[in-house]
Amino acid sequence: MDINRRRLFGGALAAGAAGLAVTSLGACVTETPAAPAVPGAALRAGAGANTTLGPIKTVEAGVLEVAYAEFGPASGQPVILLHGWPYDPYSYADVGPILAESGFRVLVPFLRGYGPTRFLSEQTPRNGQQSAIARDIVDFMDALRIDSAVFGGFDWGARTVDIIAALWPERVEAMVAVSGYLVTQQAAQQQPLPPAAELGWWYQYYFATERGRLGYARNRHDFNKLIWRNASPAWDFDEATYQRSGAAFENPDHVDIVISNYRWRLSLAPGEPRYDDYEQRLATGPTIAVPAITISSDFDGAAKDGKAYRGKFTGKYEHRVLDGIGHNVPQEAPRPFAQAIVDAGRM
């Protein structure tokens, strides 16, 4: 999960209390209040309609055998959708069919360390740094002979979309990124924040310890469910929904990739020299010129208006706010997310 150095979590939803009205005779009558509106209820239409990704395909790409779901006709305009941590392609189980009905070819890969995706060699470092994940997706495109695509992502997926758009803009026709510009600059990550903001980083500091690595390895099921609830407090997902994604965390490299990702961000773990050039370019905070729609939700807190990263997008651009929705935007609000993909492709 990405907090992008800002406080994420809002307050819990308050329950309404029944009011008392006094009649003209002085009798005390209990009124039945109207049911409070569920934040974001209208935006959640269609969520949970699909409980399968269909047959999972695989392709050798770069250092990986990438597992992926595919929706829609092979001749359709390619759309690549990327998940984050602790999520998986089921975040797009409803978005994929919506876009497929409109004729898009939708590809949703399992990132390194998730689900059936596997490293081709035992000798390849289990490295979770940002540019390694982005390179994986470019290699995935090459393996499938996809020159360019419309991209969408949230969390690690949004960061990966940002990086591909910045470093390989010719591969990105347009993009949708939840929480906007998430490119990690390690030097900036060293600067302390006010205590209230640092509190939201608790899991990253936990992962910096060997106790955290062991705890995550032992308790990843309950750990990740806690992250889901904290990041999306108004999303009433059921156990079956969580279990479908939870299976992806049993990948043999999952713990190593997650720990590497968060330690690398804090300069507590090395990257690979093969990615140094990419990271040097990303350290400058490059702008993104491809057509882009950014989406914010309640997860983004005070940064919901998108002003903090507006200057990073120099091409055609639009920002959308989904009030009442948490961090897992495509799974919580599949229709608005799918519409953003369609609209971005037309910009």
- C-alpha angle 208-304-16 in degrees, rounded to nearest 5: 95
Q: Which of 137, 203, 144 minimizes the C-alpha distance to 172?
A: 137
- Is the per-residue pLDDT at 70 higher than 50? yes
Q: How confident is the model at residue 1 (pLDDT cuts 50, 70, 90)?
A: confident
Tell me: pLDDT of 9 over 70: no
pLDDT for 33 equals: 52
| Residue 281: per-residue pLDDT | 98
Q: What is the mean pLDDT of residues 265-293?
A: 97
Long-range CB contacts (within 8 A, 24+) of 211-219: 212/259, 213/255, 213/259, 216/255, 216/258, 216/259, 217/255
Beta-bridged to residue 150, according to DSSP, are 79, 174
Q: Which of 98-112, 122-136, 187-201, 244-258 has the lowest mean pLDDT?
A: 187-201
> What pLDDT score does 145 carry?
98
**62 pLDDT above the threshold of 90:** yes
Instruction: Please say if the pLDDT value at position 32 is more than 70.
Output: no
pLDDT given at position 292: 98
Q: What is the band of 84 on the pLDDT scale with cuts at 50, 70, 90?
A: very high
Between 40 and 323, name the one with better pLDDT. 323
Question: What is the C-alpha to C-alpha distance for residues 341 and 151, in angstroms, rounded to an integer?
Answer: 8
Per-residue confidence band for 10, with pLDDT thresholds at 50, 70 and 90: very low
Tallying the residues shown for the chain, one arrives at 347
Q: What pLDDT score was predicted for residue 35?
A: 52
Q: Tell me the CB-side half-sphere exposure of residue 281, using CA atoms within 13 A.
A: 14
CB 262 within 8 A of CB 207: yes
What pLDDT is recorded for position 12? 32
Q: Which residues lie across from 80 on neighbouring strands?
A: 107, 151
